[in-house]
Amino acid sequence: MAKYLSWNKIPKITPKSIEKIGGNSDLFDNQSPPYTVYGLGRSYGDVCLTERGTLLLSRGLNEFINFDSVNGKIRCQAGTSLNEILQLVTQQGWFIPVVPGTRFVTIGGAVANDIHGKNNHKVGSFGNFVRKFELLRSDRERVVCSKSNNEGLFHATIGGLGLTGIITWVEIDLIPITNNFINVEIEGFKLIDDYWDINKQLETDWDYTVAWLDCISGGSSIGRGIFHSGKHSSLETGLPKYRDIKITFPIELPFPLINSFYSRVINSMYYRSNLGRGTLIKHYQPFFFPLDSINYWNRAYGKKGFFQYQCVFPPENSKAGVSQILEVINKSNQNSYLGVLKSFGSIKPEGIISFPRPGTTITLDFPNKGDKTLSLFNELDSIVRTLKGALYPAKDARMSGEMFRLSFPRYDEFSQYIDPKFSSSFWERVN
């Protein structure tokens, strides 16, 4: 039996059995529970993995059902990737309203994790644009869910980590675009304290905002970064040409190729090269999905893989939380090779246990150094706990049950909608 893993390669799990999801509900006849749905494996952890039961592969459910190109609505099977949707709808002047940092995720996974993007401060998360979906439960009942039909299951499934059953198809609203390009404004900041003023100035006028952080620089440069603002271009002529060029990380080595010296040099070059930049126009792919241009970039971390740590702090504690996180990392001598800051707005998510909430979220990547890294995360958890923050399950491979319940106080309300024959390695770990 093959091993399955998520994008960060932690943990590596061999399921008891594997089944491809088809159009019939007889897949429950010959396979043993608990069931866990697996799409494209771009989560960072074990929300889509099971060792004890059956892994249900959804990628075969990848057909378009209906595309209303006049009113901007699309219905497709749950294994369809966001990339496949974008290839279709952008040709006719539409765009997915919320996208994550990669387009290689399924729409079912986008619903189950209630993904967020660079525009949460303006429009909310993915679930805010879901009109309806069909849910196949282990008792073989097919349930169409919306805000007006099976409302409880609707809100439990959005952000519900795949625990309420199999999402078979999804219908979402799209947003209109004039072309495939984004107007971008870039501004550097020397200290993390400067970020807050820049964000306050720009997030009102710009649809998309995100900041890259240099988490390796210390001393007077701790928390320096580059702030990116974007909005869909309205130009009808004079657009630049775009060619989608990909490179492939060729092999996975026993050791990580990313190290402190290399990253310090790269970060410094990136920071300095962007300090003087102002406005430019970018195709949507490098703006929203910069790492998608490198196939298998996760191989750079070696066979041991890496952890991603993502948390959110409420508005009143965001400044203190981010500063404390950066200080602890700096003192630990464990460098985060990727740091991202985004604002979350006040639009209420549709999911009972959706991660987005008002405040600021910080995302950090760390090479897997075993107990040393896990010990650092315990320190970060303490900051999150004290400042009333939360952790993101889709980016987690180690949080405790205590941290999960603190992060999602509506846990008991959500639990009543779980399909009794569905679970995951993540769910068993936090329960």
DSSP code per residue over 5-65: --TT--S-B--SEEEE--SSGGGGTSSPSPEEEESS--SSSSTT--SSSEEEE-TT---EE
pLDDT higher than 60, residue 237: yes
Task: Kindly tell me the burial class for residue 179, based on how many C-beta atoms sit within 10 Å of its own C-beta (0-12, 13-18, 19 or more).
Answer: middle
Token pair of 385 as six digits: 């706990």
Stretch 239-263: mean pLDDT, rounded? 81
Q: What is the pLDDT of residue 238?
A: 87
The answer to which of 44-53, 139-148, 215-224, 301-310 has the lowest mean pLDDT is 215-224
- Percent over 90 (pLDDT), the chain: 81
Q: State the number of CA atoms in the 13 A half-sphere of 26 facing the CB.
A: 1
- Which element (helix H / strand E) includes 75? strand 73-77
- pLDDT, the chain, mean: 93
Region 181-400: CATH code: 3.30.70.2520
Q: Residue 423 pLDDT more than 70? A: yes
Structure tokens given for 381? 């958890």
| Nearest residue to 311 via CA among 349, 355, 347, 346 | 355
pLDDT tens sequence across 279-294: 899 999 999 999 999 9
Per-residue confidence (pLDDT) for residue 67, from 0 to 100 = 98
Is the model's pLDDT at 334 over the cut of 90? no
**d(Cα 101, Cα 114) in Å, to the nearest integer?**
13
Please identify which residue in the block is written with the tokens 């602890």.
328
* pLDDT beyond 60 at 105: yes
> Rounded mean pLDDT of 359-379?
96
Tens-place pLDDT, residues 180-206: 999 999 999 988 999 999 999 999 999
Taking residues 31-51, report their average pLDDT.
Answer: 95
Report the run of H or E that residue 313 belongs to, with start and end: strand 306-313
* 335 pLDDT more than 90: no
From CA 201, how far away is CA 275, in angstroms rounded? 18
- The mean pLDDT value for 85-105 works out to 98
User: Is a pLDDT exceeding 70 seen at residue 261?
Assistant: no
Write down the pLDDT at residue 268: 73
The pLDDT tens digits for 125-170 are: 999 999 999 999 999 999 999 999 999 999 999 999 999 999 999 9
pTM value is 0.95
361 burial level (CB within 10 Å; 0-12, 13-18, 19+)? buried
Strands 247-248 and 294-295: parallel
Q: Contact, 381 vs 398, CB < 8 A?
A: no
What is the distance between the alpha carbons of residues 5 and 365, in angstroms, rounded to a whole number? 17
Q: What is the CA radius of gyration of the chain?
A: 21
pLDDT score of 1:
64
Residue 258: band (very low, low, confident or very high) from pLDDT cuts 50, 70, 90: confident
- What does the chain come to in residues? 431
Bridge partner list, 281: 183
Q: What is the pLDDT of residues 78-93, one digit of tens each?
A: 999 999 999 999 999 9
pLDDT at 24: 61
Per the CB < 8 A criterion, the answer to whether 32 and 409 are in contact is: no
Q: What is the pLDDT of residue 218?
A: 67
Q: Are 58 and 78 in contact (CB under 8 A)?
A: yes
Is residue 25's pLDDT more than 60?
A: no
User: Hey, which residues does 309 pair with through a beta bridge?
Assistant: 364
Query: For the ranges 197-211, 239-253, 352-366, 411-425, which has the lowest average pLDDT?
Result: 239-253
Provide the residue ranges of all domains of the chain, joining segments of one domain with +: 181-400
Q: What is the pLDDT of residue 61?
A: 95
Angle between helices 318-332 and 371-386 (to 10 degrees): 160
Q: Is the pLDDT of residue 276 over 60?
A: yes
Q: Pick from 126, 7, 3: which is nearest to 395 by CA?
A: 7
